[in-house]
Amino acid sequence: MRYMKKLQQDDGACVAALATGHLLLFHRLDPLLRRNNAGSFTSPTLHYTDMQSVVQALGTKESLLKESVLIGCREDTQAYFCLDVGQLDRASVEKLCDGTFVDLKKSFFLLSGAEAPLVAKGKALLRWHQTNKYCGASGQSTCRNQAGSHRVCGTNGVFSYPTMAPVVIVLVSDGRRCLLGRQSSFPPGLYSALAGFCDMGESLEEALRREVAEEVGLEVDAVSYSSSQHWPHPHSSFMLACHAHVSPAQTQLLVDHTELQDARWFTLDEISAALNAKAPPSGGLLAAAPWLPPKHAIARHLISEWAERQRAAGRPDG
């Protein structure tokens, strides 16, 4: 952590780390993936010298590599960076790097849990830099430091830093079933926990109760915090995950179809089947078992946590 801080504060040290570092590649914010011999996908890291060969082969200036953004380092201080090569021909880069650029949402279902957070962080930082090239106060151009940990306005000297928007995500239960919803933008059959942005001045609990009331018309009577996670959609969110309970006597759903395409109660048997599923359900929206978010997503964690608690309590399904 101290080494990371040094790289964020010392441009010279960061340049030296980049010269021996590894890079995750993106093309217009789509990460590069590679299929291994076992048929699964990984997010390959390319050594800086390998990327030098790539840009030379494509007739591009090597200064492109200096646009890399620091995203982490190993215990042995091996630094990792991300780089968007959107100005280069996509097919040519894929051929030279032996991989394929894949939409980030799709890639989350292909990557292991260990790789996905680093890819998510990379996309979030690259997008932040792409959308913060000008100062909100002066309207003038901003410049980044070498690590990409901040930008500064050359006119007024104001610093800006990458931020995350707080989002509450909640798994509602009536003690026997859990509630999942889906938006029209979700892949067919996918259901997830309810979620929404926290409004200015709201506490976590207030935002949770409001979102549940607005989206499905239920009144929450108990809330417990679970965990948190960075999520790169829609523009870098800080997911605050909770469990919520509603009275079994008041479970009639009044779904706001401007917010959700559908919302349904699911039993433990249905959730267990979904957790063990290897592919999306063939029955689409009306399939008995939903298709769940990827394993590293905090929504999946909430659902798994609820199922484990149900089994531990020995509660019958049905």
Q: Give the model's confidence band at 284: pLDDT under 50 very low, under 70 low, under 90 confident, else very high.
A: low
The answer to whether residues 113 and 222 belong to one domain is: no
- Asked if residue 20 belongs to a domain, the reply is yes
pTM for this entry: 0.91
For helices 268-276 and 298-312, the axis angle rounded to 10 degrees is 130
The answer to whether residues 11 and 80 belong to one domain is: yes
The answer to whether residues 205 and 306 belong to one domain is: yes
- Asked if residue 121 belongs to a domain, the reply is yes
The answer to whether residues 81 and 189 belong to one domain is: no
Q: Which long-range contacts (CB under 8 A, 24 or more apart) does 16-20 make?
A: 17/70, 17/73, 17/77, 17/79, 18/48, 18/65, 18/66, 18/68, 18/79, 18/81, 18/146, 19/48, 20/48, 20/78, 20/79
The pLDDT value recorded for residue 65 is: 96
Q: Could you read off the pLDDT of 59-80 as tens digits, one per residue?
A: 999 999 999 999 999 888 999 9
The answer to whether residues 245 and 179 belong to one domain is: yes
Q: Could you read off the pLDDT of 154-177 as tens digits, one per residue?
A: 999 999 999 999 999 999 999 999
Count of CB atoms situated within 10 Å of the CB of 163: 10
* pLDDT exceeds 60 at position 318: no
* pLDDT exceeds 90 at position 223: yes
CATH number (domain holding residue 104):
3.90.79
Radius of gyration of the chain (CA): 22
- Asked if residue 153 belongs to a domain, the reply is no
What residue has token string 């917010």? 259
Q: Give the model's confidence band at 49: pLDDT under 50 very low, under 70 low, under 90 confident, else very high.
A: very high
Count of CB atoms situated within 10 Å of the CB of 141: 12
Domain that holds residue 21: 2-132
The answer to whether residues 68 and 180 belong to one domain is: no
The answer to whether residues 201 and 301 belong to one domain is: yes
CATH number (domain holding residue 286):
3.90.79.10
Q: Which residues in 15-42 are b (16+ Cβ under 10 Å) and which e? A: eebbeebbbbbbbebbbbbeeeeeeebb
The residue out of 109, 132, 155 marking a domain boundary is: 132
Q: Could you read off the pLDDT of 126-145 as tens digits, one per residue?
A: 999 999 999 999 999 999 99
The answer to whether residues 63 and 173 belong to one domain is: no
The answer to whether residues 95 and 233 belong to one domain is: no
Pairing label, strands 165-173, 237-245: parallel
- Asked if residue 78 belongs to a domain, the reply is yes
- Asked if residue 145 belongs to a domain, the reply is no
Q: Could you read off the pLDDT of 190-199 as tens digits, one per residue?
A: 999 999 999 9
- Asked if residue 99 belongs to a domain, the reply is yes
The pLDDT value recorded for residue 315 is: 72
- Asked if residue 213 belongs to a domain, the reply is yes
The answer to whether residues 28 and 121 belong to one domain is: yes
- Asked if residue 225 belongs to a domain, the reply is yes
The answer to whether residues 179 and 297 belong to one domain is: yes
Q: Give the model's confidence band at 277: pLDDT under 50 very low, under 70 low, under 90 confident, else very high.
A: confident
Instruction: Give CA angle at 224 (222, 228), nearest 5°.
Output: 145
Q: What is the count of structural domains for the chain?
A: 2
What is the C-alpha separation between 50 and 107, in angstroms, rounded? 23
The answer to whether residues 197 and 118 belong to one domain is: no
The pLDDT value recorded for residue 317 is: 60
Average pLDDT over residues 98-114: 90
Lowest-confidence segment of 28-42, 125-139, 263-277, 283-297 by average pLDDT: 283-297
User: Percent of the chain having pLDDT more than 70?
Assistant: 97
What is the C-alpha separation between 52 and 306, in angstroms, rounded? 48
